[in-house]
Amino acid sequence: LEFRVLVVDDEPFNCETVSRAFRKNDEVTVELSCSGSDGLEIASTRAFDLFLVDFAMPHLDGVDFVERARRHRRADRVGRAWH
């Protein structure tokens, strides 16, 4: 059983750090997005089990991303990360 995670953060370092942590588990597939709008586009084409979203992003922030993603039922669980 594969577990799919979408990480949405405008800081590449944060995306890579989270991705490296998940790579240790062969049953987890991680996709990365550097903006909220790109993340929604990715989420519209594939189903994910979890979104990890930075709430402080320009243009489409994490709060708006989560609201839109929930409306479209693209993930059952949404993790929150602040920095």
pLDDT (0 to 100) of residue 22: 86
Task: Tell me the pLDDT of the chain (83 aa) as tens digits.
Answer: 788 999 999 999 999 998 889 888 889 999 999 999 999 999 888 888 888 898 888 888 888 888 888 777 655 555 555 55
CA distance 31 to 66: 16
Helix (H, G, I), strand (E, B) or coil at 44: helix
Task: Please report the sign of the dihedral spanned by the C-alpha atoms of residue 28, residue 33, residue 35, residue 37.
Answer: negative
Which pairing describes strands 50-54 and 77-81: parallel, antiparallel, or unpaired? parallel
